[in-house]
Amino acid sequence: RQGRAAQRPLAGKKVIVTAGGTVERLDPVRYITNDSSGKMGFAIAKAALDLGAEVTIVAGRTDVSPPLHREGLSLVRVESAQDMYEAVNTLWADTDILVKAAAVADYRPKQAADRKIKKSGDSMTLELVKNIDILETLGRSKRSQFLIGFAAETDHLEEHAMDKLRRKNCDLIIANDVTAEGAGFGTDTNIVHVYDANGQVETIPQASKEEIGLRIMELAAARLTGESK
Ligand code: CTP
Ligand code: CA
C-alpha cells in the first residue's frame, strides 16, 4: 500500500472532497441535518493527499475531526447546502476531481428565523423548500473535471445509483447499502459498489473507510490519467 501511494499519481491535481452533513437552520438554536459522520469523506481526502493531490475539504457538520493539517490540505467549514455550493463553485473551474461524499439536505426550512422561535399551540408545521442540487448543477457545467458522486440507499441499489450517475453527469458513483452490516453511517468500515456510465465497475468488499478511500482515489487517478484500471 505504501508502495502504491508512493507513486503519487495525483501529483499536480486539485481535488475537492465534500464531507459531513449540511445544517439547515430553523432559528439560531435549531436546525435540520442529515446523518453523516464525515469519516468516509475525510478518508478520501487523506487518500488523495497520499496520492500526491492538493486537497480542499469542504465540510459541513461532522462527528469526527478532520485530518490534521498537512502540506497540500485546506479545510473550509460550511453550514448549509447553499454555503457548500458556493464554496465548491468558487474552486470548481480550477478543480480536477470533485468527490461529493457530503450528505446534503434536500430541503431547508422556508424561513430561518433570526430569533429563537417560541413554542405556542399543540402542533407546529414546518414548511421546507428544495435546496440546490450541488452535484447536478456542477455536473451540467462540467468540462474536464472528474466527478464522483455517492449514493446511500436502502433498496434497489444499482437502479438508484445508475439513475443518479446519469442525472448528475458523474464519472463514477459510489453506492452503499446503508442497511448492510458493516456499512454506512458512523461505522468504521464500509462496503461499496462502484459504477460508471457502463454499469458496475467493482464491488469493494468490507474494508476500512481508509482502504476504501484509497481504492476510490486510485480508480479516479487511473481514469483521469487515461490508464485503465
Ligand atoms: N447531492 C448534492 N446536492 C444535493 C443533494 C445531493 O450535491 N442537494 C449529492 C450528494 O453529495 C451525493 C449525491 O448527490 O454525492 C447523491 O445524493 P443523494 O441524496 O443520494 O441523491 P438525491 O438526488 O438527493 O436523491 P434522493 O431522493 O435519494 O435523496
Ligand atoms: Ca438526497
Which residues keep their CB under 5 angstroms from ion ligand 2? Answer: 106
- Residue 162 phi/psi, 5° resolution? -65, -35
168 labeled binding residue: yes
pLDDT value of residue 183: 76
User: Does ipTM come in above 0.90?
Assistant: yes
Is 34 among the residues known to form the active site? yes
Its pTM stands at: 0.94
116 labeled binding residue: yes
pLDDT value of residue 2: 53
| Vertex 143 angle, CA 150 and 211, to 5° | 35
Please name the residue whose Cα sits nearest to atom 23 of ligand 1. Answer: 164
The contacts found for 208-214 with CB under 8 angstroms, 24 or more apart, are 208/43, 209/39, 209/40, 209/43, 210/43, 210/46, 210/47, 212/40, 212/43, 213/40, 213/43, 213/44, 213/45, 213/46, 213/47, 214/1, 214/4, 214/5, 214/47, 214/50, 214/51
List, in order of start, the domains of the chain with CATH numbers: 2-111+128-223 (3.40.50.10300)
Q: Is the CB of 135 under 6 A from ligand 1?
A: yes
Choosing from 34, 131, 176, 190, the catalytic residue is: 34
pLDDT value of residue 188: 84
**Tens-level pLDDT at each residue, the chain (229 residues):** 455 556 799 999 999 999 999 999 999 999 999 999 999 999 999 999 999 999 999 999 999 999 999 999 999 999 999 999 999 999 999 999 999 999 999 999 999 999 999 999 999 999 999 999 999 999 999 999 999 999 999 999 999 999 999 999 999 999 998 888 887 777 888 899 999 999 999 999 999 999 999 999 999 999 998 765 5
